[in-house]
Amino acid sequence: MQKTSVPHLLHPSRVRWSLPLLLLLLLPVAAALPPAFRAECTRIVDGDTIDVSRAGETVRIRLEGIDCPERNQPFAEEAMALTALLVEGKMVDVIAKEKDAYGRTAARVFVDGRDLSAELLKAGLATHYRKYNSDWLLASLERQARAEGAGMWGTPPSPAPAPATKGSPRKDSRTVPSSPAAYHGNVRSRVFHSPACPHYDCPNCTRRFGSREEALAAGFRPCGRCKP
C-alpha cells in the first residue's frame, strides 16, 4: 500500500522552520491593526477634540474623519455642546488611527455604540474631512445633513449688529431685552417645538427658529404634542 504523503510544510522535519516563518509573516498584519482602548472622557476641548483618561494618563483625541467649526465661528458652540452631551464624563471606546501634526491621537470614538464623528455630521455640526478621510459613510452623512438643512446647513445665523458710529442714535439696551429663539427644531426628526414642550431642549434640537413660519419654510413640521 502506498503511504499518504505529508504536506511539505507539515512534514515533521519542517515544522520547526515553518512555525517561525508563519509568525514572521503575521507580524506586519498584527502591527497594522488599529489599537483600541476604553477610557473616560474628562474634558471637551472643542467640537472635534476631547481629552480622555487612560490608565491615569491624559490622552488628547482629535475626532478622525470630521472637522467642526473653530472657536468664534458660527455653530462652534453647538458642536461643542453636542459633543459634551454625548461623551463628557462617560466611558468611551477609542479606535486610534495615528498621531497628527500636533501630537494628538486621531481616532474614532464610540459611546453606547454610537460613532461620535457620525453623530456630529448628522446634526450638521461638522464637515467630512475629505482631505484625510475617504469613508463613504461619513461623506454620505454630510450630504444628508446638507439636503435636510441640518445645523450649519440651514438658515445662517443673524449677523452681529454693526457698531454705533459717531452721530448715530444709540439704542438703550435696557429697553430692548434679548429674546431666545421661539422654536427649537429637531434636525433628525424635522419636528419643531415650542418653549413649553418637554422636547424643546432635546439632544438633536439644535436648529433655532424665530417664528413658526420660518420653521415651516425650512421644511420642519409642528410637534404633535405641544402643537406650536
Question: Mind telling me the catalytic residues?
Answer: 62, 70, 104
The DSSP call for residue 205 is: -
Nearest to 74 by CA among 214, 207, 201, 191: 207
* Separation of alpha carbons 129 and 139, rounded Å: 9
Residue with cell 406650536: 228
**Backbone dihedral angles phi then psi of residue 141, each to the nearest 5 degrees:** -65, -35
Q: What are phi and psi of 109, to 5 degrees?
A: -120, 130
d(CA 206, CA 193) in angstroms, rounded, equals 11
Report the Cα 118 to chain-centroid distance in Å. 5
